[in-house]
Structure 1
Amino acid sequence: MMEAFDTDRGGAGCLRGMVGQSPRFLAALKLIARIAHYDAPVLIEGETGTGKELAARGIHDGSRRRAKPFVAVNCGAIPESLIENELFGHSRGAFTDAGIAVPGLLRLAHQGSLFLDEIDALPARGQVALLRFLQDGHYRPLGAQHAESADVRIIVASNRRLKTLVGEHSFRADLLFRLHVLSLEMPALRDRPGDPWLLAHHFLDEFAQRYGSISGEARRSIDSHAHAWFDAYAWPGNVRELENLIHRVFLLSDGPELSLPAPDVPALGGPELLQAAAGDAPQSYTAARTQALDVFHRRYLDALLRRTQGNVTQAARLAGKERRALGKLLQKYHVDPSRFRM
């Protein structure tokens, strides 16, 4: 069992800032622990804000490489002209102003793990360079006479489906095959019932420690009325959105209780959704949640198609979903795109 994994908090799983107790979240933690033992490339997919980098760190921390470097880089932040220099480094005199040799990311991560976030943003030149290294573990720094080797575990992440990008000819199929040895899907927060409330208190404790408390001040809490909409809300920004909400309210609220305003209604589905979530009629939690999510989905899909005037491809892009997946939602909730076309 990996050292970073903990389940002592009331049955909840916790992994370096990843907190939850929902079945899909615990399944992801279990898979992280399993993947950590096998020294092979890993592909992590999931929406923005679902904790892909934390998962990558968990894999590293649970592996035999835990005492060695974990180097993280966002591929979207590297200009195409500097890709090979960033990955492989350069020798002295390789180009103008190269007065000293500078190691690349592979050398910095030697015997550890290199995490490449937003791998989908890696340009064609970078994809070729990475594929070359994955084939035999060798690379040549810019300007060097001889190739070098590095013992590095490659972990990559994407918020877009790489298989879809391969079909669109914007990502190399041979590189995907090299990367997709082990895979992990980080669940969206909307698919983790109960976890938003748990995470909200986790972040509240974190901010209380970070900013300290006024002498004699009581421990702060969250207004219980927020519980009515927490699981019903879709959290399009996932855990990152929730963390930012708690951070903002923590800093701007007075008194021991934080009042969390429900997000604006196009995302939530209007007062009807809150009523369905709170449930005036006596019904089970599961039934109330299903009712609230039905209201949300129909309202969300209506608003989405109204914005794109019935263009399903554009709507899928705005929603961050594959077109086929969005099409299935439209069928499930009986939303006809033709109603919104001008």
Structure 2
Amino acid sequence: MSRVLHPGGDVNPSPADECRVDDLRGEIVGASPAFLGLLAQLRRVAGSEAPVLIEGETGSGKELAARAIHYWGTRSAGPFVPVNCGALPDHLLEAELFGHERGAFTDAKLARRGLVAEANGGTLFLDEVDALSAKAQIALLRFLQDQRYRPLGSSRELRTNVRLVAATNQPLADATQQGRFRCDLMYRLKILHLELPPLRARTGDAERLAQHFVGVFCAQYRLPVKTFDTATLAWIRSYAWPGNVRELENWVHRELLMADGLTIRAMLERPHGSADAPSPPEIANFQRAKAEAVRLFERDYVLTVLRQAQGNVTRAAQIAGKERRAFGKLLKKHGIDRQSLAD
């Protein structure tokens, strides 16, 4: 029987239980040892007020982990304010964070409160924090010293009270070694540190999540409950899921809508389901099977990071930790058109 762990609840999960963390917008579902270990860390981290750095692959659930920290902590009655640092232009980031006075810059026709003010008494979640420019890093470092700030165009110094949770899909230590991120800022953000396990390291959780998503989408579309056939479940368990939980959720969404009847018998191909995707190769030779598995993983990974970067090759190369030229060769190798992935 599943246990539902509500924020502030006192249920202690055991390895034999399936556990679910509910928040306002989604759920983290699992029962693997890696998941239960993460769950224990989340509870411990939620009990403090220190800044937290969450690291993990794309699609591994970093925002849901941040929400669990917020809703399980002492600030659960306050706001949870997420900020995608990679989506904000450098010249607007300080205004978004700290607000601005009327006339502070072109088009600033009205004064506006910043996100740090909106998050007062709650949690400010900085996603893709490694995308901050050098100027923005200095501004954030200054703010973290005492949580004092000045809105753009203002001489008044204001103060807020927020808990900061940051996330990145690349180790921040690597960015500091490459000179892209300030060491002093990393140390302030990394007082508490969580590393989310990829889905491939969460034994059995892919199947649990797939069945969970079936229930969610059947309810959303008011469909009778559907189930996977045995072969599809076996494939779900064996696939590496390079895009993690997000990839699995999107794949289940598509397969459920395309399935006839009450049983989902998926075509056992890559989850993206492109027309030229081959069926899994027959394992007649170890080297050929290994080469095919590497090819599929490489192409799926490139597609995943390119989608996250909205078709921007330079940004995708940064996410992947590769030189732009090398990443461009991967695009050409796998016949991927970046224009088709741009927003």
1:222-237 map, 5 Å: 222-237=228-243
Structure 1 residues 304, 96: CA separation in 2 closer, same or farther (over 3 Å shift)? closer
Q: 2:261 aligns with which of 249, 255, 258?
A: 255
Contact 1:267–1:296 (CA under 8 A) maintained in structure 2: no
Q: Between 55-64 and 250-259, report the one with greater CA deviation.
A: 250-259
Structure 1 residues 192, 305: CA separation in 2 closer, same or farther (over 3 Å shift)? closer
Shift of 1:267: 9.8
- Listed as ranges, the gaps of 5+ residues in structure 2 are 272-276, 300-315, 323-343
Post-superposition CA distance 1:272-321 (Å, at most 9, x none): 29xx9xxxxxxxxxxxxxx9xx9976644477899xxxxxxxxxx98977
Q: 1:31 aligns with which of 33, 36, 41?
A: 41
Which of the pair has more CA radius of gyration?
A: 1
Report the 3-state secondary structure (helix = DSSP H, G, I; strand = E; otherwise coil) of the residue aligned with 1:102.
Answer: coil
The percent of aligned pairs where both chains have the same amino acid is 44
Shift of 1:235: 0.3
Q: 1:176 aligns with which of 171, 186, 192?
A: 186
TM-score (normalised: structure 1): 0.77
Structure 1 residues 304, 221: CA separation in 2 closer, same or farther (over 3 Å shift)? closer
Report the 3-state secondary structure (helix = DSSP H, G, I; strand = E; otherwise coil) of the residue aligned with 1:272.
Answer: coil
Structure 1 partner of 2:110: 100
| Distance (whole Å) between structure 2 residues aligned to residue 56 and residue 264 of structure 1 | 30
Q: Which aligned runs of 4 or more in structure 1 are off by greater than 4 angstroms?
A: 4-10, 265-269, 294-299, 301-306, 317-323
The code of the aligned residue for 1:144 comes to S
The code of the aligned residue for 1:161 comes to P
Contact 1:33–1:62 (CA under 8 A) maintained in structure 2: yes
Structure 2 partner of 1:189: 199
1:141 maps onto 2:146 in alignment: no
The code of the aligned residue for 1:116 comes to L
May I ask how many residue pairs the two structures share in their alignment?
A: 291
- Listed as ranges, the gaps of 5+ residues in structure 1 are 277-290, 307-316, 324-342
| Distance (whole Å) between structure 2 residues aligned to residue 268 and residue 35 of structure 1 | 43
Q: 2:123 aligns with which of 113, 135, 139?
A: 113
1:50-89 map, 5 Å: 50-89=60-99
Contact 1:232–1:268 (CA under 8 A) maintained in structure 2: no
Report the 3-state secondary structure (helix = DSSP H, G, I; strand = E; otherwise coil) of the residue aligned with 2:246.
Answer: helix
Contact 2:15–2:36 (CA under 8 A) maintained in structure 1: no
| Distance (whole Å) between structure 2 residues aligned to residue 53 and residue 305 of structure 1 | 25
| Distance (whole Å) between structure 1 residues aligned to residue 34 and residue 319 of structure 2 | 20
Shift of 1:125: 1.3
The code of the aligned residue for 1:93 comes to G
Shift of 1:94: 2.0
Contact 1:45–1:160 (CA under 8 A) maintained in structure 2: yes
The code of the aligned residue for 2:190 comes to H
TM-score (normalised: structure 2): 0.77
| Distance (whole Å) between structure 1 residues aligned to residue 106 and residue 262 of structure 2 | 60
The code of the aligned residue for 1:15 comes to V
